[in-house]
Structure 1
Amino acid sequence: MKKIINYSAIALSTMLLATSVQAKGDKHWGYMGETGPSHWSEVKKNFGMCSKGKVQSPINIIASKDVELKPLVLNYKSNAKGIINNGHTVQVNIKDGSVLKLDGLDYKLKQFHFHVPSENNINGNAFPLEAHFVHATDDGKLAVIGVMFAEGKKNKMLKKIWRKLSKLEVGHEEKFNLKSKHIKELMPKNKDYYKFMGSLTTPPCSENVKWYVYKNHLTVSKKQINKFFKVFGFPNNRPIQDTNKRVIEE
């Protein structure tokens, strides 16, 4: 009998375990130099998709098909359970109970995190900050909602998260009090979006990820952007990947 490997489950496990700290001496992926994006597939054997994949993220989003997409069905009821600096970004982990409903399946909100500057572009335009809300089904199917932030007024909800930034020990999750209503405020009121297939934007770069990127943005102050850079010391965005003629709906 052939052994069946659930690659979706492996991708989910890898994504959730991104909070762990690498062992001393281990070669670990990063955003610069010999472990940067162009070398990810060389860091570990199971990172091969980062260089061989044909449906990779992020991309420059240019809609190719107008289908009048229905509103996303979001039912966010649970609060945050913790916050962590995982060495690549600040990540807020969510208690069970928040769901994105897609094709009759429950995609549970697992965590959200940030990239400075944005990873995806919209019509050739980059943004200083992008948030990714990562959802997963029980069997490992993945869906990500992307939210862009343009430079402008200080963001009150980000302020709650940024307050913790400089105090976090890398790899150590701390309890974090963020209500579900506050999580919703990290998304624009106008929820028109682009839809396309893609991948995780970090190793192992697993594909078959459903992407939903809101057309409308929120704001973030220059001071808030600079604080993120001060803590991490590097931009944490993967370069734009080839769309390979994939369909981008709006």
Structure 2
Amino acid sequence: MNKKLIYSFLAVSLSLSLGACSKITSASHHTNEEVHWSYEEEAGPEHWGELKQANSACINGSEQSPIHIDVSQVKTDRHLDNIQIQYESAPFTLVNNGHTIQANARAKSSSIFIEGHQYKLVQFHFHTPSEHQLNGKSYAMELHLVHKDENGKIAVLGVMIQEGKENQQLASIWDVLPKKETVKDISLNEQVDLQRLLPQEKTAFHYNGSLTTPPCTEKVKWYIFEQSIEMSKKQIQAFQQIFPDNHRPVQPLNKRNVLKLG
């Protein structure tokens, strides 16, 4: 074999080798790439626990949320204090985080007290249809008001939303609903009257659960109001045009008790 043929053979071999390495590197990179969770198909709720190890509670947890609340099975605990709600009108910023519309508190001036322990409101957001069910019924939407204590422990108030009259308290937010995922927070011109976001009747169901989105962290205190609030069909449809379905299906209750307060 002459020198020209040898050099040609080596050049081709080297080229094939580098190409193979390139494919291996590319495949390896793709495998390690984090798959972002969603509410659809391969990255949907039934697969959250498979997407990465940090989400293992989504499939291995024993106290997951949301749940179906059968009112006939609920226990009334008269020794359990009602939650004390200390809400004020406050400024918020608005974001579309790709999963929901979320209002972030600019000042931690609103709180709830559970057995004398303070949890400050950090944000509220929405799901459609409702994540929790009451007596087998799903609602058009559900509002979650998320609170944290000084150690980062979480307590959430859940409010069911049914179709009815226009919700004036949410009108200023609905006027500027970001249709696409935002890079920066949108400042709201008007403060939100938080007390008026809640139902008049404060009877609630309490249970210990989890976040309803990855990583599905447990030890979350949940309080679901029995009475719903209303939003107009137009308001509900405006949200559903952005997020047609952003709810996690109900999870097994297992051995947990649901208690009625109020």
- In the other structure, the counterpart of 1:9 is none
Once the two structures are superposed, residues 166-207 of structure 1 have per-residue CA deviations (whole angstroms, 9 ceiling, x without a partner) of: 466524211124435x12111001111111111000000000
Q: What is the percent sequence identity of the aligned residues? A: 42
Q: Secondary structure at the match of 2:38?
A: coil
Question: Equivalences for 1:32-111 in 2 at 5 Å?
Answer: 32-63=40-71, 64-68=74-78, 70-77=81-88, 79-94=90-105, 95-111=107-123
Question: 2:16: which partner in 1?
Answer: none
Contact 2:164 2:232 in 1 (8 A): yes
Give the secondary structure class of the aligned counterpart of 1:185.
Answer: helix
Which residue of the partner structure matches residue 244 of structure 1?
A: 254
Aligned counterparts, 1:1-250, within 5 A:
26-63=34-71, 64-68=74-78, 70-77=81-88, 79-94=90-105, 95-166=107-178, 169-180=181-192, 182-232=193-243, 234-250=244-260
- Following the alignment from structure 1 to structure 2, what is the Cα–Cα distance between the partners of residues 215 and 195? 11
Q: Which amino acid aligns with 2:234?
A: K
Cα distance between partner residues in 2 of 1:32 and 1:212: 27
Given that 2:98 and 2:180 are in contact with CA atoms closer than 8 Å, whether structure 1 keeps it comes out as no
Tell whether the 8 Å contact from 1:85 to 1:172 is kept in structure 2 after alignment.
no
Unaligned runs of 5+ in 2: 1-32
| Equivalent residue letter for 2:154 | L
Q: Which amino acid in 2 is paired with 1:236?
A: N
> Which amino acid in the other structure matches residue 196 of structure 1?
Y
Q: What is the TM-score of this pair, normalised by structure 1?
A: 0.85
Q: Distance in 2 between matches of 1:111 and 1:246?
A: 27
Structure 2: distance between partners of 1:133 and 1:112: 4
> 1:231 Cα shift?
1.8
TM-score by length of 2: 0.81
SS of equivalent residue, structure 2 residue 187? coil
Higher relative contact order (CA 8 A, sep 6+): 1
Change (3 A) 1:231 1:223: same
Deviates more, 1:132-141 or 1:168-177: 168-177
Cα RMSD (Å)? 1.6
User: How far apart, in 2, do the equivalents of 1:105 and 1:132 lie?
Assistant: 20
